[in-house]
Amino acid sequence: MYRTKGLQNSRIEVADALRGIAVIGIVLYHAVEHFNLGTPETTLALACDDKVFNILTVLLSGKMYGIFALLFGLSFFIQRDNQEQKGKDFSLRFAWRMVLLFCFGVLNLVFYDGDILTFYALWGLLMIPAGYLSTPVLWAVTIFLLAQPVEIYSMISGWKPDISAMGKYYMEIGRTGADGTFFEHAAASLQYGFKASLLWFVMKGRVTQTIGLFFLGILFGRQRLFYNEGNHLRIWRIVAIVTAIIVAAASVFGKWHDGSIYFGKADSLLHPLYNLAILLLIVSGVVLLWYAFKGFRKGLSHICFFGRMSLTNYLMSSILGTFVFYGWGLGMHYVLGTTWSFLAGVAIIVLQIVLLRQWAKKHRRGPLETIWRKLTWLGSKQSD
């Protein structure tokens, strides 16, 4: 069983920067996908649209959510470890915290059917028992989950999960999003959004990978890898080199089709691992640059506050993004091609930064983070 080492968990600014990068990446990719409405023929299409979409797919799709999941596990470790150092068990409090996160996710579903908060809340409960496991055992469980066990079993046995209903769900959601009223889409998203997203997670092999990334975040927290201590930067250099080699090899031997890499019959197994390698390459690169160059730290410091308000930013982007693209709002789904949609995503991010920077002048946390924290510690004089 794991016990706290009693070391202080100070604020990890590079983790805030990474969280900010992840949220920005998620918003940008949601924008080019018109917040799950797809990319039909549009009025303002450019010749470079396909290239822009392909580049963003390689850099963002399946990577930004992974960084977010990794840091979600890290946050759990820090909160749990802080309470354990006080002689208190964080388990019940964290379970209540996940109930609150699920409620935020349901609120997000009202606007955007691709919500991930509900899944994080449900799967996040698995971090409670995982937090008690010894480090060697947790490493074994994490590696097992990240190795895509369901996909390996599927390849060996020939069994395939039934995702046939996914198309019907997305069709109904897309119809109301493109041409319906706000209330029609909200009803469809609440009815079908969770189920459609779950099947999509299954299809993409992200169920076990997401949980594995939660656990990997716990392990990174236990090893204090985000602090510039001991030989930690050497470890990150090894991670960067190994993942760079994996990505380069996969890019050479994989088949490229419509800007996306494809691994033939083994794609369901190898594609999630390819995404995992890229996201670890991004994380290791940011950590190394953060501690190596003052200018890099200074540049990214401008989005650290954005990362600290990730819950607020995630929900705000859903509200702003669906208003821009959906039929109940400005209806830009039929107007903006990929490049213009990317710029619309940039505009959404800039607006959020401007608004929340004003908020940050008087508050340590974002609006929803403040509510979440207060409700988490309801009935207690303690703080996290």
In this prediction, residue 382 has a pLDDT band, given cuts at 50, 70 and 90, of low
Q: The pTM is what?
A: 0.94
When pLDDT is averaged across residues 104-124 and rounded to a whole number, the result is 96
The two tokens of residue 340 are: 């213009």
On whether the CB atoms of residues 151 and 272 are closer than 8 A, the answer is yes
On whether the CB atoms of residues 150 and 205 are closer than 8 A, the answer is yes
pLDDT tens per residue across span 340-370: 999 999 999 999 999 998 998 888 889 999 9
Q: What is the pLDDT of residue 91?
A: 95
Q: How far apart are CA 130 and CA 212, in angstroms?
A: 11
In this prediction, residue 265 has a pLDDT band, given cuts at 50, 70 and 90, of confident
Q: What is the pLDDT of residue 11?
A: 83
Amino acid at 354: V
pLDDT tens per residue across span 20-70: 999 999 999 999 999 999 866 778 888 898 889 888 988 898 899 999 999
Residue 261: strand pairing partners: 256
For residue 240, count other CB atoms closer than 10 A to its CB.
Answer: 18
- 259 pLDDT above the threshold of 70: no
SS3 content of the chain, % helix, strand, coil (to 5): 75, 0, 25
pLDDT tens per residue across span 168-180: 999 999 999 999 9
In degrees, rounded to 5, the angle at the alpha carbon of residue 33 between the alpha carbons of residues 179 and 165 is 70
* Torsion angle (degrees, nearest 10) of CA 77, 79, 85, 88: -110
The two tokens of residue 366 are: 């974002």
On whether the CB atoms of residues 59 and 200 are closer than 8 A, the answer is no
- Tell me what percent of the residues of the chain surpass a pLDDT of 70: 98
Q: How far apart are CA 16 and CA 74, in angstroms?
A: 11
Residue with tokens 């609006």: 367
pLDDT tens per residue across span 281-307: 999 999 999 999 999 999 888 888 889
When pLDDT is averaged across residues 115-119 and rounded to a whole number, the result is 96
In this prediction, residue 384 has a pLDDT band, given cuts at 50, 70 and 90, of very low
Q: How far is CA 318 from CA 110, 191, 322, 356, in A?
A: 9, 17, 6, 15
Kindly state the DSSP code that residue 332 receives in the 8-state scheme: G
Residue 336: strand pairing partners: 44
pLDDT tens per residue across span 203-243: 988 999 999 999 999 999 999 999 999 899 999 999 999 99
Residue with tokens 């299409």: 45
Domain residue ranges in the chain: 13-376
Q: How far apart are CA 232 and CA 192, in angstroms?
A: 44
